[in-house]
Amino acid sequence: MSEIRIERNPDRKKLEAEGVFNWPIWEKEPSRFDWYYDSEESCYLLEGKVKVEPESGQAVEFGAGDFVVFPKGLRCIWDISEKVRKHYNFG
């Protein structure tokens, strides 16, 4: 399984070219929960701060302004310390 990929503060033109700002928005208050990705997810955080702890591998932290790709098949724990608001796309 591949790793979680994080791109810090990507160029807005790149985000627009990928159609990020047309993707749906998901919001979640501070919380901690298990998650499983049955398909790859790409997301761009508008607000918030998160730590994701994969079942195997190193925990990663990311927040507002980061573009993140989660691989299909990833089992992890999401630990949201600041309310999250993100654009997301599965596929």
Residue-range domains of the chain with CATH: 5-90 (2.60.120.10)
Q: What is the pLDDT of residue 53?
A: 96
Per cent of the chain over pLDDT 70 is 98
Q: What is the pLDDT of residue 57?
A: 84
Residue 2 — pLDDT band, cuts 50, 70, 90?
low
Mean pLDDT of 49-67: 96
* H or E element that contains 63: strand 60-63
CB 67 within 8 A of CB 15: yes
Coarse DSSP helix, strand, coil percentages of the chain, rounded to the nearest 5 percent: 10, 60, 30
Cα 19 versus chain centre, distance: 16
48 pLDDT tier (thresholds 50, 70, 90): very high
The torsion angles phi and psi of 34, rounded to 5 degrees, stand at -80, 150
pLDDT at 1 over 60: no
